[in-house]
């Protein structure tokens, strides 16, 4: 194993402290790029390094700060960095100072080959089929088409958030209508709050694995998973099979509490897949203030696969 690869020892302690909702992207320039929610929820940072491990010591660069008022002025959450058709995009969630929970998805764009250079331009809000609480947007390509998946409060508003998918016309325009992928239904998805959020996509073994996070942001937080064939119609809800049990949850023995809101990346040779996720190192947290406890740290885990070719996260 190369010294830059992730070992079992690396999995036993946090990679980056006080960074929730972590996103790691391995680009063709050889860099691993990292972004996440800063504990102050007031800015978007990027850092990069030649290995996942080295991200721990990489110097963060603030590329955007929240507005003083109005849209994008509060709760700057869960940024993701994507490279689409020769341009860089960041999808992130934000509220506003006058209404902190008016959370919607917003987009930044940069046409510089180097995302640490150039200008990050605000491209506006991602518009879905109806206007409601919306966050944790991720995008991915399959069979030449780009898709967005995100969390949103349903029209019926009976849950805190469900997961939806839609094809993309442009990197900042959805092709509607959207498709419901999953809503909280099992006990492990409804502890504290009825939540499905934080979708992330892993493509391997002819399948598309879409993980997501469920329940409140305390030690009950956990990961679920949907599975579809990569040749299926991804906009048809019946193409997706939902696992009835969480695929990753609190591990007291390992000192990992409330794991979730993950992303995926690979080793440099592409042979290993890595789970990048956040978790706390302790269980005790006041649910009313859980989002403002800064100690959700970024962790990394090498993914193993079972006999079906499905990822194992435990």
Q: Which of 21, 80, 109, 159 is catalytic?
A: 21
Q: What is the 3-state secondary structure (H, E, C) of the chain?
A: CCCCCCCCCHHHCCCECCCEEEEEEECCCCCEEEEEECCCCCEEEEEEECCCHHHHHCCCEEEEECCCCCEEEEEEEEEEEEEECCEEEEEEEEEECCEEEEEEEEEEEECCCCCCCCCCEEEEECCCCCCCCEEEEEEEEECCEEEEEEEECCCCCCCCEEEEEEEEEECCEEEEEEEEEECCCCHHHCCCCCEEEEEEEEEECCEEEEEEEECCCCCCCEEEEEEEECCCCCCCHHHCEECCCCCECCECCCCEEEEEEEEEEECCCCCCEEEEEEEECCCCCCHHHHHHCCCCEEEEEECEECCCCCEECC
Q: Which of 109, 136, 197, 273 is catalytic?
A: 197
The reply to whether 197 belongs to the active site is: yes
- Catalytic residue IDs: 21, 197
């Amino acid at each position: 194993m190369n010294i830059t690869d992730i070992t079992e020892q690396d999995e036993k302690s946090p990679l980056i402290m006080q960074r929730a909702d972590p996103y790691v992207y391995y680009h063709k320039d050889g860099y691993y790029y990292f972004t996440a929610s800063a504990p102050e929820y007031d800015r978007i940072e990027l850092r990069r390094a030649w290995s996942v491990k080295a991200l721990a010591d990489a110097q963060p660069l603030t590329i955007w700060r929240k507005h003083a008022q109005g849209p994008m002025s509060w709760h700057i959450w869960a940024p993701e960095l994507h490279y689409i058709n020769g341009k860089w995009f960041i999808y992130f969630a934000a509220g506003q100072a006058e209404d902190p929970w008016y959370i919607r998805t917003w987009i930044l764009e940069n046409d510089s080959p180097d995302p640490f250079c150039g200008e990050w331009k605000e491209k506006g809000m991602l518009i879905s089929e109806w206007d409601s609480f919306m966050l944790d947007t991720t995008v991915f390509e399959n069979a030449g088409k780009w898709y967005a998946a995100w969390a949103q409060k349903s029209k019926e508003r009976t849950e805190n958030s469900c997961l939806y998918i839609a094809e993309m016309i442009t990197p900042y325009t959805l092709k509607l209508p959207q498709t419901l992928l999953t809503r909280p239904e099992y006990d492990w998805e409804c502890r504290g709050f009825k939540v499905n959020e934080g979708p992330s996509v892993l493509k391997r073994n002819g399948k598309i694995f879409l993980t997501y996070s469920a329940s409140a942001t305390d030690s009950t937080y956990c990961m679920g998973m949907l599975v579809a064939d990569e040749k299926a119609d991804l906009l048809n809800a019946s193409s997706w099979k939902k696992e009835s049990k969480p695929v990753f949850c609190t591990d007291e023995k390992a000192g990992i509490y409330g794991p979730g809101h993950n992303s995926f990346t690979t080793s440099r040779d592409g042979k290993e897949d890595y789970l990048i996720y956040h978790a706390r190192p302790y269980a005790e947290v006041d649910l009313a203030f859980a989002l403002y406890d800064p100690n959700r740290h970024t962790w990394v885990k090498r993914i193993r696969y079972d006999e079906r070719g499905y990822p194992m996260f435990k």
